[in-house]
Amino acid sequence: MTDDRPLIARLNWYWLFQLAGWLFLPVLLIAMTPGDAHTSRMLAIAFWGMAAGLLISDTWHRLLKRQIQNGVRVSWKAMMAAILVLGTIHTAVQTVGYLVIKPFGEVHGVAWVPGALMFWWGVYLVWNTFYMAVQSLRRANRLEQEALRLEISAKDAELRALQAQVNPHFFFNSMNSVRALVYEDRDSAALMIDQLASVMRYALQSGQHDTVPLAAEIEAVQAYLAIEKIRFEERMRVSVEIDLGLEQVRIPPMALQTLVENAVKYGVEASPTGSEIRIRAQRMDDGRIHIEIANLGAILPFANSTKVGLVNTRKRLALALGSNASLDLTENSGWVRATMTLPEAA
Amino acid sequence: MRAILIDDERLARAELRRLLAAHPEVEIVGEAANAADGIQQIAALKPDLVFLDVQMPGGSGFDMLAALDEAPEVIFTTAFDQYALQAFEVNALDYLQKPIQAARMAAALQRCALRHGRALAYAAAGVPAVAPMAARKLFIKDGERCWFVGLQDVRLFESDGNYTRVYFDKHKPLMLRSLNQLEERLDPQRFFRASRRHIVNLDYVDQVTPNDAGGLDLLLRDDLEVEVSRRRAAQFKSLASL
């Protein structure tokens, strides 16, 4: 398993801070004693203190961690008590060190005890304050991440619901046409029902995948167009051109279908003379793939619904294929073209 | 009843024709496939009833009706245009959802015949010579909202530039017609041109008082006040004495 998080996230910040913090004490001690007192004994006691600090604080850290993982909230009172205990233990260990190493000669009397205690309590107060601050910062981060994750999964569910949506206007109009056709031409009626079933099945099932092969989507689009051809008759012409080798290119499900539905809505349904619907998929010189859907007409400035369809399709392209995929709507010499650009297929 | 079918899909018209075969009282006198064609057919054939698709190429069914001087009885046909239908003040609206069920068609035709008969009777109680005209309704589209209103329900037309404000019930939408255009179409026995700015429905006049300018002040039901210019006051008196 590879860890592709950035370096800053992979570092063990706990030990970095531990070492840096405890190293600060011997450095401080060395800095504060006059140069002629720098003996090997003094260095020894300095690092003795550092080692004791690492050991005691790490043991305390493990204890705390277990408490936190068990969901026990450590109160400030318990914290203060712990600081007193930890400081006292460290003072004791340090006293042993002084008795054994004797960095500044023999230890005399007990006058130094309160000062030493106060110093180590202070050290552990700083340590614990810092530790708890980091903990609560992390908790806040985790909560934020959790909220983001929830938001993403909600958006995902919404997207799938959108994908599964069958255009009801199309559906009921088709039902009406098929009803008329039953009396006029039974074979055509039967064929239209088959095609309607394919369109419905594809619309309902394809949403389970992030991407589908272009060939599968084209098949559903062809069935859809066949139905619309029955409805609009000579008002609709269709041409589909897919370059060889592009059948397996992956696109988000219903992306092409949505754009073709738009083309029919604005090119054919809204125009008394109708339009040709041109679908063309080609590999460009730079290896990228263009899928173009064109219809006669103009981009209407107030057609809000196109914007919704476009924005959704754009979002789904980005989600499924990354930011290299794009969708553009252009108008040129009486044709409206929706062009999906897909990154070079792997 | 003489009816026209307006729908851009041939199969949808065929389906309507088949459904209407069960109703011999409805005679289909014409068909149209788009709004422009529809307007022509209605003008030429003066049908009693129009079956009208809401979504049509070259303008919606609503836009088509708004372009008419007077609206016949209309039954809308729609696949799934909930938002379009919500725009409507529903009281006078009849619509059938595709695919159309025979029972719904029968019910809609019955309601329509009832309305049509009542309007004709209402008009007949007035002046018989203008009865067919007076039976007509006005279709008003103001922005996103639409109304079907019987002329007998309109209290007042008020000029507002190229538009006319129409007062009825609690509503006063604007329609894209000048007051002069409207005047030509209205029954002069009931709708009186009180001034440059107003046409009043005489049925709604409650009080008449002479004013200082030598004209008349009319108080309409629901407290609308309209001034009759001096020039037209005499005309008003002769009408009122009828």
* Residues of chain B with C-beta less than 8 angstroms from the C-beta of A177: 9, 11-12, 15
Task: Determine the pLDDT at residue A66.
Answer: 87
Q: Across the interface, which of A170, A172, A179 has its CB nearest the CB of B15? A: A179
Alpha-carbon gap: B60 to the closest alpha carbon of chain A (Å): 9
Counted across chains A and B, CB pairs separated by less than 8 A come out at 65
- Report how far residue B230's alpha carbon sits from residue B202's, in angstroms, rounded to the nearest whole number: 18
Q: Do B36 and A175 touch (CB under 8 A)?
A: no
Q: Which amino acid makes up residue A275?
A: S
Instruction: Give the chain A residue nearest B12 (alpha carbons).
Output: A177
Q: Do B79 and A183 touch (CB under 8 A)?
A: no
**Chain B contact residues (CB < 8 Å to A):** 8-12, 14-15, 18, 33-34, 36, 55, 57-58, 79-81, 97-100
pLDDT in tens, B133-183: 445 688 888 888 888 888 888 999 999 988 999 999 888 999 988 898 888
Task: Determine the pLDDT at residue B130.
Answer: 44
Strands A275-283 and A236-242: parallel
Q: Across the interface, which of A169, A172, A180 has its CB nearest the CB of B14? A: A180
Instruction: Give the chain A residue nearest B35 (alpha carbons).
Output: A272
Task: Determine the pLDDT at residue B129.
Answer: 43
Quick one: which H or E segment has residue A114? helix A113-163
Look at A168 and B16; give whichever has higher pLDDT.
Answer: B16
* Residues of chain A with C-beta less than 8 angstroms from the C-beta of B81: 169
**Paired tokens of B163:** 């538009």
Chain mean pLDDT for chain B? 85
With beta carbons less than 8 A apart as the criterion, state whether A312 and A256 touch: no
The residue written with tokens 């392209």 in the block is A317
Per-residue tens of pLDDT for chain A, all 346 residues? 456 677 777 778 888 888 888 888 888 888 887 777 667 888 888 888 889 999 999 999 998 888 888 877 778 888 899 999 999 999 999 888 888 888 777 777 788 888 889 999 999 999 999 988 988 898 899 889 888 887 777 677 666 666 556 788 889 999 999 999 999 999 999 999 999 999 989 988 887 787 899 999 999 999 999 999 999 999 999 999 999 989 899 998 888 998 999 899 889 988 888 899 999 999 998 889 999 999 998 887 655 555 677 777 888 788 778 778 899 999 998 999 999 999 876 4
Q: Do B36 and A272 touch (CB under 8 A)?
A: yes
- Report how far residue A198's alpha carbon sits from residue A224's, in angstroms, rounded to the nearest whole number: 8
What's the order of all strands across the beta sheet hosting B174-175? B174-175, B163-168, B154-160, B198-201, B191-193
Instruction: Give the chain A residue nearest B82 (alpha carbons).
Output: A169
Q: Do A176 and B15 touch (CB under 8 A)?
A: yes
**Paired tokens of A286:** 């730079």
CB count within 10 Å of CB A195 equals 22
With beta carbons less than 8 A apart as the criterion, state whether A289 and A341 touch: yes
Q: Taking CA A197 as the corner, what is the angle to CA A191 and CA A201, rounded to the nearest 5 degrees?
A: 150
**Paired tokens of A269:** 């349904």
Mutate to test the interface with A, among B17, B78, B98, B144 (most CBs of A within 10 A): B98
Q: Across the interface, which of A172, A180, A271 has its CB nearest the CB of B15? A: A180
* Residues of chain A with C-beta less than 8 angstroms from the C-beta of B8: 232, 235, 269, 272
Q: Taking CA A243 as the corner, what is the angle to CA A240 and CA A244, rounded to the nearest 5 degrees?
A: 125
* Residues of chain B with C-beta less than 8 angstroms from the C-beta of A169: 55, 79-81
What mean pLDDT is predicted for residues B189-195?
89
First and final CA of chain A: distance in angstroms?
Answer: 23
Mutate to test the interface with A, among B6, B7, B11 (most CBs of A within 10 A): B11
Alpha-carbon gap: A9 to the closest alpha carbon of chain B (Å): 52
Q: Across the interface, which of A179, A230, A272 has its CB nearest the CB of B99? A: A179
Question: What's the predicted TM-score (pTM) here?
Answer: 0.66
Q: Which amino acid makes up residue A233?
A: E
Alpha-carbon gap: B14 to the closest alpha carbon of chain A (Å): 7
Contacts of B119 (CB under 8 A, 6+ apart): B135, B137, B150
Task: Determine the pLDDT at residue B92.
Answer: 54
Task: Determine the pLDDT at residue A161.
Answer: 62
Look at B3 and A151; give whichever has higher pLDDT.
Answer: B3
Q: Do A176 and B99 touch (CB under 8 A)?
A: yes
Statement: residue B91 has pLDDT above 60: no
Q: What is the DSSP string of A137-174?
A: HHHHHHHHHHHHHHHHHHHHHHHHHHHT---HHHHHHH
pLDDT in tens, B17-33: 999 999 999 999 999 99
Q: Across the interface, which of B10, B15, B34 has its CB nearest the CB of A272? A: B34
- Report how far residue A2's alpha carbon sits from residue A38's, in angstroms, rounded to the nearest whole number: 47
Q: Across the interface, which of B12, B14, B36 has its CB nearest the CB of A184? A: B14
**Paired tokens of B92:** 């006078």
Mutate to test the interface with B, among A166, A172, A175, A176 (most CBs of B within 10 A): A176
Q: Do B80 and A169 touch (CB under 8 A)?
A: yes
Task: Determine the pLDDT at residue B212.
Answer: 86
Alpha-carbon gap: B228 to the closest alpha carbon of chain A (Å): 43
Q: Across the interface, which of B55, B57, B97 has its CB nearest the CB of A271? A: B57
* Residues of chain B with C-beta less than 8 angstroms from the C-beta of A181: 11
Q: Across the interface, which of B11, B57, B97 has its CB nearest the CB of A180? A: B11
Q: Across the interface, which of A168, A172, A231 has its CB nearest the CB of B11? A: A231
What mean pLDDT is predicted for residues B41-57?
90
Q: Do B11 and A184 touch (CB under 8 A)?
A: yes
Contacts of A19 (CB under 8 A, 6+ apart): A54
Could you tell me where the DSSP H helices lie in A185-297?
186-205, 214-232, 255-263
Q: Do A172 and B99 touch (CB under 8 A)?
A: yes
